[in-house]
Structure formats: C-alpha cells, structure tokens
Amino acid sequence: MFAGVLGYRECFVFSEYAIAKRSGIQKSKRLLVIMKKSIILGSVSLVFALLLPGTSFACADIDGLVDINCDQQLIIAGFGDSITFGRSDTPIEIGYPGRLNLYFPNAIVLNFGDPGEMTHVGLRRSSRVFAEFPNIDYLVVLEGVNDFFLEDRSSLSTRDNVLSIASRGSNTGAISLIGNLTAVKRDDQKGWVSLVNSRLAPHQHINFFSLGEGIISGDRLHPDAEGYDAMALLVAQTLPIYSQANRPVDTDGDGIYDFAEAKFGTGIFNPDSDGDTLLDGDEVFVHKSSPLLLDSDGDGLSDQREVTEIGSNPADPRPGTPAITDLQFIMGEET
C-alpha cells in the first residue's frame, strides 16, 4: 500500500496511527493522509508522502542518501510558499516535493508549502513545524517571492528570515539546503527576485533560478508541471552531494555512527562488543539481536551460529524451519 506521485488518479487514505507507526513521527490529531490532495497538515500546510516497502537499516544509506539521524528512515522536507506547495501544477498540485519519490522511492517526503506566505510568517511557522517533525534528514528551504508585496519590504530581512528558517531546521539535526528564488515572468517582480537572490547567493545550495523562465506557467509566477519536474530533478541531483559531505563519523566501522553508539550500549572503538564475530551494526539493524549478548534470544544457540550456520533468527527463540546440520547413517542386518 502506498500513496504517491506514481498514481495520480489513485486515492489512498492512511489513518493517523498508521502514518505515525510507519514514519516514526509523533502522532498528531491534525495529520491525515489523502493522496488526491497529498497530505494535509493543519489548515494550510500540505505534506506529501510516498510510502513504499523497502529494505533499509539504520545508519545504512537509503536510496543513496545518508540516514543522518540513524533512525532507519529517510525523511526529506520542502519548506516554503506556493511554489513549494505546487501552485499551477497539473493534474494535481504536488510541486517538486511530490516528485522526489521518483528518485528516492523509500523516502518519506514532506511538503510544508504554504501558499501566499511571506518569510516573517514562515519563520514563525517553522518553529511549530520542526517541533512537530523533529526527525527530518534533509530540508530544502525555498521562500521569499511574496515578500515583494510588503510595503516595507527588505531583501536583507528576507534573506535573514530564510537563513533563520534553515538554521531552525539544522538545529533538529537536519541537513538544511537553501534554494534561491525561481525566475518569474512578471516584470514588476523580476528586480525583487534578482535582488533577493543576490543576497542569498553566498548561502545557497540549490540554484532554482538557473532553470530560467521556461519552467514558469501561464500565471507568470509558478512553474508548470514540467517546471516542477525540472525542480525535482535538480534537488535529486543536489541532495547526494551534501549527503556524502555530511556523513557522520563511524570510527570503528561497525555500521553504527559514533553519536548513536551510546544509545545501544556499544563503543566507538570496538566493532564487535560481544565478541561473536557479528558487527554491532549488523546485530542491531540487520539481525535485530543484541550486540552485547552472545545468545540474544536465550535459546541455547549463539547469535553467530544462528546467523552463519543455521540461518535462524538470533532474536527469536522460537524454532523456525528445521535445519539439518548433521546426518548419521545407521546400518544393521536385515531380520
């Protein structure tokens, strides 16, 4: 069961409990997943998620991206205004975030786009969003075009607000990437976009403006469907670069990042804490056994023997499919 961009005409509804259980995100009474309108958070924020089955282990890469917080899931979020939301997209408004699962099929993708939002409002909203979703691995911030309509608009204030939103995301442990503003065809806003982008240039990670005016729809502001395709591709090409650059340290190479070792009672200088020849990371994330016990399930068989010789589950004392480990031939005379 999944909800995603691959099935535009499909409509899957997930319960709050199911989403909370699958994603590890705190359950919220405001969280409801509906494919046709993506995922609605509150009254204004759209969250799009594609949930696909797949094999992924904590601290191991998922879809080529580092699991930054080592929680066995990959969460990518877009934060911004109507361009992140997906205005003028067809056949439904999912924007570039709704397309990222084409590139990262095992990721949970969240779309925190709020149409019409200005950056000072987005800054206030970001505190609530990041408190409610503290496990984001990668955050893309794209906001600022609407500040043009402020009477006292200031490109410096817009820049500072965008930087503060990204900083708040980083404070949760996410890798925050700042995108510059997309091009516009509205002559009165072109100067504003150029000015804001010049302020953001020293801090930007994703150059959306480089996609040009060709991605803009007939409303002269928002991208069209092909434009959102191009934005998603650009993000997908950029994420792996910053992912690898920010890979946490794993000193002993056991598959558990140093910052997470204490959580499992293991150390950063010993890859096999219980000495059973199974790496601590494999025990925790692959076999679901204890890296501190030779016989995790207490069935009389060591974890090492269950994994390498018998092929049984070292974390479950119940017998699985019988395995023949020894054959004895008894020969006698016929009577």
Whether residue 95 lies inside any domain: the answer is: yes
In this prediction, residue 246 carries a pLDDT of 93
Among 241, 238, 7, 225, which Cα is nearest to 102's?
7
263 and 221, same domain (yes or no): no
Lowest mean pLDDT among 36-40, 74-78, 140-144: 36-40
Q: Say if residue 27's pLDDT is above 90.
A: no
241 and 262, same domain (yes or no): no
Tens-digit pLDDT profile for residues 200-237 = 999 999 999 999 999 999 999 999 999 999 999 999 99
Tens-digit pLDDT profile for residues 119-150 = 999 999 999 999 999 999 999 999 999 999 99
203 and 60, same domain (yes or no): yes
Query: What is the rounded CA–CA span in Å between residue 122 and residue 85?
Result: 13
In this prediction, residue 320 carries a pLDDT of 64
Cα-Cα end-to-end distance for the chain? 63
Average confidence (pLDDT) over 228-249: 96
Among 45, 221, 186, which Cα is nearest to 117's?
45
pLDDT-derived band of residue 332, with 50, 70 and 90 as boundaries? low
Q: Given 189, 219, 245, which residue is the final one in a domain?
A: 245
Whether residue 135 lies inside any domain: the answer is: yes
Whether residue 322 lies inside any domain: the answer is: no
179 and 294, same domain (yes or no): no
In this prediction, residue 161 carries a pLDDT of 98
39 and 139, same domain (yes or no): yes
Q: Say if residue 99's pLDDT is above 90.
A: yes
User: What percent of the chain lies above the pLDDT cut of 70?
Assistant: 78
Whether residue 78 lies inside any domain: the answer is: yes
114 and 263, same domain (yes or no): no
Q: Say if residue 290's pLDDT is above 60.
A: yes
Whether residue 154 lies inside any domain: the answer is: yes
Q: Is the dihedral of CA 103, 244, 109, 115 positive or negative?
A: negative
175 and 297, same domain (yes or no): no
DSSP 206: B
Tens-digit pLDDT profile for residues 167-187 = 999 999 999 999 999 999 999
What order do you get walking across the sheet with 74-80 strand by strand? 13-14, 31-34, 39-41, 45-47, 107-113, 74-80, 138-142, 175-178
160 and 288, same domain (yes or no): no
137 and 271, same domain (yes or no): no
Average predicted confidence (pLDDT) for the chain = 82
> What range defines the domain where residue 284 resides?
258-310
Whether residue 214 lies inside any domain: the answer is: yes
pLDDT-derived band of residue 263, with 50, 70 and 90 as boundaries? confident
In this prediction, residue 39 carries a pLDDT of 35
Lowest mean pLDDT among 37-46, 101-110, 212-221, 230-239: 37-46
Average confidence (pLDDT) over 104-117: 98
Find the Cα–Cα–Cα–Cα dihedral 128, 131, 133, 137, rounded to 10°.
120
269 and 232, same domain (yes or no): no
121 and 184, same domain (yes or no): yes
Average confidence (pLDDT) over 103-120: 98
Whether residue 315 lies inside any domain: the answer is: no
Domain count, the chain: 2
Q: Between 240 and 60, whose confidence is greater? A: 240
Whether residue 326 lies inside any domain: the answer is: no
217 and 85, same domain (yes or no): yes
Beta strand segments in the chain, E: 13-14, 31-34, 39-41, 45-47, 74-80, 107-113, 138-142, 175-178
Lowest mean pLDDT among 5-19, 47-61, 111-125, 243-257: 5-19
